[in-house]
């Protein structure tokens, strides 16, 4: 009898340990199948064409008391230079602009003497970026109890940026950005972390302020009309500045414009250019050049005419703009 009970007990134990496989259950995706297909089609489309504008950072200064002392001269502005370098790095990294140096022109001039170049070789820009760090501060807060304590270090920064037309000096856009960074440490009954002065908070706060203003800055720059020069015109063949690195592709169509007459306004004092006139259309046939500094495009004139003696006063821009 006990033998039968033992066998039955072993069988019961084995049946309890056995696992049963359950068929997989279909789980609905967070979006419908149609939406997934549409998203895949959108991802397969070519990226939006971006014609790069030419910009330069003219000045970025520190207008706060932070980092200033009697032992530093007017040119020792580490905070302003840091903000300028961060802004330039982000603008170049966006791959949406051609960024030119303006703050270290003295060093560039020295190199030009060695290479045989001159100031006349410097490239003009469409807009100049000017800015300053207007607010910067640090604070340390914390709580202390019977057996525990906490310490929070915080850095806050604010930057002001404005865009100026390189031809007239007119400021056409301003924006501000704020940023904050903090670090926290604590200990309980003598165990935990103790944080000394964290200098990296300054860098992170300024970087956050630059990032805060960057989107509105780039959107405003891209609102300005993109244009490029006609290098040479030979019958129906037109050589234009700009190539693949500026978003130009074979088959693209552009409008050829003749600049309007410039008239000085008695009301504002500005020299106002009358509206440009469309004189033709070109289609890109091929591209040449291996860098942003020497690339161009060969186009054919599909409508209109161009003068044979010179193309001064003519430019190329996006069709329909």
The answer on pLDDT for 191 being more than 60 is: no
Structure tokens at 229: 């020069």
Judgement on whether residues 75 and 97 belong to the same structural domain of the protein: yes
The contacts found for 75-80 with CB under 8 angstroms, 24 or more apart, are: 79/133, 79/136, 79/202, 79/206, 80/132, 80/133
Residue where one domain finishes, among candidates 176, 207, 223: 223
Judgement on whether residues 168 and 60 belong to the same structural domain of the protein: yes
Residue where one domain finishes, among candidates 205, 223, 241: 223
Residue 8 Cα distances to 16, 17, 19, 20, angstroms = 12, 14, 19, 21
Judgement on whether residues 209 and 256 belong to the same structural domain of the protein: no
Taking the CA of residue 36 as centre, how many other CA atoms within 13 Å lie in the half-sphere pointing to its CB?
6
In the chain, % of residues over pLDDT 90: 21
Cβ atoms of residues 205 and 139 within 8 Å = no
The answer on pLDDT for 180 being more than 70 is: yes
Partners of 227 in the beta sheet? 317
Query: If pLDDT is split at 50, 70 and 90, which confidence band does 175 have?
Result: very high
- Check which CATH number belongs to the domain holding 292 and give it: 2.40.10.410
Closest CA to 285 of 310, 321, 253: 253
| pLDDT at residue 18, as a whole number | 43
Cβ atoms of residues 278 and 253 within 8 Å = no
| pLDDT at residue 299, as a whole number | 95
Residue where one domain finishes, among candidates 223, 239, 274: 223
Query: If pLDDT is split at 50, 70 and 90, which confidence band does 202 have?
Result: confident
The mean per-residue pLDDT over the stretch 134-158 comes to: 81
In a domain, 296, yes or no: yes
The mean per-residue pLDDT over the stretch 130-156 comes to: 82
The mean per-residue pLDDT over the stretch 204-208 comes to: 90
* Cβ-based neighbour number of residue 179 at 10 Å: 19
The answer for 27, left when phi > 0, alpha when psi is -120 to 50, beta otherwise, is beta
In a domain, 115, yes or no: yes
pTM for the structure as a whole: 0.65
Q: What is the pLDDT of residues 5-41, one digit of tens each?
A: 454 554 444 444 444 444 544 444 455 566 666 666 5
Taking the CA of residue 96 as centre, how many other CA atoms within 13 Å lie in the half-sphere pointing to its CB?
16
Q: Domain tally for the chain?
A: 2
* Cβ-based neighbour number of residue 104 at 10 Å: 10
Q: What is the pLDDT of residues 110-133, one digit of tens each?
A: 665 666 665 555 677 888 899 899
In a domain, 39, yes or no: no
The mean per-residue pLDDT over the stretch 165-187 comes to: 85
Judgement on whether residues 126 and 58 belong to the same structural domain of the protein: yes
Task: Determine the Cα–Cα distance for residues 137 and 156; give it in Å rounded to an integer.
Answer: 5
Task: Determine the Cα–Cα distance for residues 81 and 99; give it in Å rounded to an integer.
Answer: 16
| pLDDT at residue 203, as a whole number | 87
Q: What is the pLDDT of residues 219-249, one digit of tens each?
A: 888 888 888 889 988 889 999 988 888 888 9
The mean per-residue pLDDT over the stretch 297-309 comes to: 89
* Cβ-based neighbour number of residue 167 at 10 Å: 12
Judgement on whether residues 61 and 151 belong to the same structural domain of the protein: yes
In a domain, 120, yes or no: yes
Cβ atoms of residues 128 and 58 within 8 Å = yes
The mean per-residue pLDDT over the stretch 144-153 comes to: 73
| pLDDT at residue 24, as a whole number | 47
| pLDDT at residue 79, as a whole number | 78
| pLDDT at residue 251, as a whole number | 93
Q: Domain containing 253: what range?
A: 227-318
């Amino acid at each position: 009898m006990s033998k039968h009970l033992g066998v039955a007990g072993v069988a019961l134990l084995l049946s309890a340990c056995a696992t049963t496989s359950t068929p997989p259950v279909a789980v609905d995706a967070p979006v419908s199948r149609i939406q997934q297909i549409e998203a895949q089609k959108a991802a397969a489309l070519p990226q939006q064409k971006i014609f790069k504008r030419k910009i330069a950072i003219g000045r970025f200064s520190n207008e706060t008391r932070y980092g200033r002392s009697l032992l530093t001269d007017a040119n020792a502005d580490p905070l302003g230079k840091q903000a300028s370098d961060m802004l330039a790095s982000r603008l170049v990294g966006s791959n949406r602009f051609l960024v030119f140096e303006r703050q270290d022109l003295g060093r560039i001039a020295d190199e030009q003497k060695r290479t045989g170049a001159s100031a006349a070789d410097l490239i003009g820009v469409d807009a100049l970026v000017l800015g300053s760090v207007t607010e910067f501060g640090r604070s340390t807060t914390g709580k202390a109890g019977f057996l525990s304590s906490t310490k929070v270090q915080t850095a806050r920064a604010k930057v002001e940026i404005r865009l100026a037309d390189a031809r007239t000096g007119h400021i056409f856009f301003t924006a501000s950005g704020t940023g904050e960074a903090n670090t926290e440490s604590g200990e309980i009954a003598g165990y935990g972390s103790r944080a000394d002065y964290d200098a990296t908070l300054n860098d992170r706060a300024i970087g956050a302020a630059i990032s805060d203003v960057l989107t509105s800055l780039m959107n405003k720059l891209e609102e300005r009309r993109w244009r490029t020069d006609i290098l040479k015109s030979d019958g129906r063949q037109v050589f234009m500045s700009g190539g693949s690195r500026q978003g130009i592709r074979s088959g693209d169509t552009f409008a050829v414009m003749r600049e309007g007459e410039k008239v000085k306004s008695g009301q504002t004092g500005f020299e106002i250019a009358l509206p440009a006139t469309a004189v033709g259309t070109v289609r890109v046939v091929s591209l040449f050049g291996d860098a942003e500094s020497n690339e161009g495009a060969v186009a054919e004139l599909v409508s209109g005419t161009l003068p044979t003696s010179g193309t001064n006063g003519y430019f190329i821009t996006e069709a329909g703009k």
